[in-house]
Amino acid sequence: MRHQRVSLMRSTIAALLLVLLPTAVDAQDTRDCTQCPEMVPLPAGSFVMGATPDENADDYGSSKPQVRVTLSSAFAIGKYEVTRQEFAAFVAATGHRPLPGCFARRSDGEWERQPSLSWRNPGFAQTDRDPVVCVSSADARAYAEWLRRITGRNYRLPTEAEWEYAARGGSPAARYWGADPSAACRHANGPDLTQADAFNHKSDPDYFFQCADGHVYTAPVGLFAPNAFGLHDMLGNVWEWTDDCWTTSHAGAPATGDRRRDGDCHMRVVRGGGWNYGHVAVHAAFREGEDLQQRGGHLGFRVVRDQRVVSSGPLPMAEFLPLLIFHVLAIPPFWMLFRRVGLGRWWVLIVLVPVVGFWLGLVVLAWRRWPTFDRKMTPHE
């Protein structure tokens, strides 16, 4: 009998430990699943966000004033923009259907929404390694949510401050390759002489980098040199969705780097410039606002992942079983105990404690394992 009690106690403790202890996951993992994007861990740190007073960072002064931001937690960010291949895996697994239509460049050079275009056909040729484009903010967040579901780790879109921290890679300069204009085409796919030539434009130095990067539209990710954090295409290639509501300046930006919610939340901040716009936008501080539903041949995204482990995978039934088995095994001893002491008022406690404990365990497990409950999850306005 004593042996049975000890054994029962051990099973109970083991079951509770399974619920309460975090599952070990190597924080240095660069890819959480074969279809997942490659991630680069970044340290916590402090940096100055925004353009200096004399920088020509945008047309409206929205990149000013400068704000010192301290990111108190380490996090990981995509080494590359999310590719067509990665997005296709998400679409195949979930059946997600981005809205049709995409804002794209016509053959005469003008841009307009073209209903027939989509992420599968953005109006120009792409490889599987090119960044996915023609995806809205909602599509990007749905992709991150899918990653959360299949990995149990907290994937989301970057806040604007996290994006700029990652893009600068410790550099206060406008561009992580420094001031040498001829270096631009080794580090970023931007508006360049290749494009000026293809579009039959004058190679205006105020618009085009005065070098040839070899790409008129998007380029496969990772072709260009990375920044000091080892991140590719933070500047150029495609603009990237962040999750901050659009604001017309950095005045009032949180010093914690948290997502900004006090602006126009029908729009989101997009960053980094791209292949499609003047080189002024290919700048660590440049910012623009895009409607939540905007889909464009210039606009993609990358994801971030919080360091904190939500779990190593989706909620496994195997972890419920010890608790279930415990309850089944507990019935005979409880029954014998009831018969021996009589069904007094204590039976309520004797029955309720394990039952309530079981359900509390499930709630704790669900809280830890189901990323939907994560407080850092971005709401879907």
Per CB under 5 A, residues contacting Ca ion are 189, 192, 213, 215, 233, 237, 272, 275
Residue 193 corresponds to which amino acid? L
CB 48, min distance to Ca ion, A: 21
| Angle made by CA atoms 375, 378, 381, in degrees to the nearest 5 | 130
Q: Tell me the C-alpha distance between 326 and 324, whole Å.
A: 5
118 to 90, 132, 305: CA distances (angstroms): 15, 10, 27
DSSP assignment letter at 296? B
Cβ contact 330:8 at 8 Å: yes
Q: Which is nearer to Ca ion, 218 or 311 (CB)?
A: 218
Q: Which of 281, 243, 297, 287 is nearest to 77 (CA)?
A: 243
The residue length of the chain stands at 381
CB 41, min distance to Ca ion, A: 20
CB 194, min distance to Ca ion, A: 5
CB 16, min distance to Ca ion, A: 46
Number of C-beta neighbours around residue 215 at 10 A:
21
**Residue 85 neighbours by CB under 8 Å, 6+ apart:** 128, 129
Backbone φ/ψ region at 169: left (φ over 0), alpha (ψ -120 to 50), beta = left
Q: Which is nearer to Ca ion, 32 or 240 (CB)?
A: 240
Q: Which is nearer to Ca ion, 8 or 223 (CB)?
A: 223
Q: Which is nearer to Ca ion, 246 or 275 (CB)?
A: 275
Q: Tell me the C-alpha distance between 204 and 225, whole Å.
A: 25
CB 7, min distance to Ca ion, A: 58
Q: Which is nearer to Ca ion, 41 or 226 (CB)?
A: 226
CB 289, min distance to Ca ion, A: 17
Per DSSP, the residues of 350-376 read HHHHHHHHHHHHHHHHHHHH-GGG-TT
Q: Which is nearer to Ca ion, 198 or 356 (CB)?
A: 198
Cβ contact 250:67 at 8 Å: yes
Q: Which is nearer to Ca ion, 40 or 365 (CB)?
A: 40
Q: Which is nearer to Ca ion, 62 or 237 (CB)?
A: 237
CB 192, min distance to Ca ion, A: 4
263 to 160, 163, 223: CA distances (angstroms): 13, 18, 35
CB 160, min distance to Ca ion, A: 14
HSE, CB side, 13 Å, CA atoms: give it for residue 221.
27
Residue 184 corresponds to which amino acid? A
Residue 326 corresponds to which amino acid? F
